Amino acid sequence: MVVDGSKLVRKLIGDVLQREVADVEVVSCGSIREAREALAAGPVDLVTTSLSLPDGDGIALARSVREAAGQRYVPIIVISADAQAHLESRRFTEDVTDYFDKALGHTALAAFIRGYVQPQPIPGARVLYVEDSKVVALATKRMLERQQLTVLHFVGVEEALEYLEQHRGQDDIGTDLVLTDVYLKGELEGSDLLDRLRNDFGYGKRRLPVLVMTGDANPDNQSNLLRAGANDLVLKPIEERLLVTKTLFQLRLSKLP
């Protein structure tokens, strides 16, 4: 289901889906009312929506999808030029699965949607992973390795920085993505690692994507991480499909021209 007040935007997103997904059926809706009518006619497998709709917003639509009789839990993706601002201000509700910033373009959108409907591994891509809990680290490492990713696990920020320092100034900086917990037992936390990567090493979001795992529900703390340069957050408890989708998308995005 593609929900957007603009017929042109609906066609563009629908075209992406039809190119990327075999035998897909696109249900095009211009408003929340039309979406509710479509949901009453039968369940859908994925929903994209803009933030602004003629009779409400994407957040209200997400609630309608979750409340629809007979509709199982499906990904609901907000596609908007204001997605990053909404993310930083933590205005997305738990009904929204994920978001996409229109500014990234249609090639990135295709990669993003493909990650949900037909996820493709990136064999050998390296994830530098910082986590001091053995139980969490083992479970998360297995999730990533099932996607043929190479996981470089460190129990603390200090050890991770030592490794990255060895590759400073080289074309190969030692990893393709960083995944870190916020709260760690050492002197340095995940936010310190993020600060060092963005300001000391000078790695931008495309050069080195950083995903931050947090169980902190405080919206101000989450906003601060995003403003400090985190590409995205992974909220605990970790849902494997979402972690994999976010990780693979950031890896693909970093390789786009």
For the chain, which domains are there? 2-117 (3.40.50.2300), 126-255 (3.40.50.2300)
Q: Which pLDDT does position 239 carry in this prediction?
A: 86
Q: What is the pLDDT of residue 201?
A: 97
pTM: 0.78
Nearest C-alpha neighbor of 2 from the set 193, 20, 21, 34: 34
What is the C-alpha separation between 110 and 150, in angstroms, rounded? 24
SS (H, E, C) 157-208: HHHHHHHHHCCCCCCCCCCCEEEEECCCCCCCCHHHHHHHHHHHCCCCCCCC
Q: What is the pLDDT of residues 14-72, one digit of tens each?
A: 988 888 777 889 999 999 999 999 999 999 989 999 999 999 999 999 999 999 888 88
> For 96-147, what is each residue's pLDDT tens digit?
888 888 888 888 888 888 788 777 889 999 999 999 999 999 999 999 999 9
Residue ranges of E strands in the chain: 2-3, 28-29, 47-49, 52-53, 56-57, 76-80, 98-101, 126-130, 150-154, 177-181, 210-214, 232-235
Q: Which residue has the higher pLDDT, 167 or 95?
A: 167
Cα–Cα distances in angstroms (integers) from residue 134 to residues 162, 164, 190, 238, in the given order: 21, 22, 17, 15
**Residue 91's pLDDT band (cuts 50, 70, 90):** confident
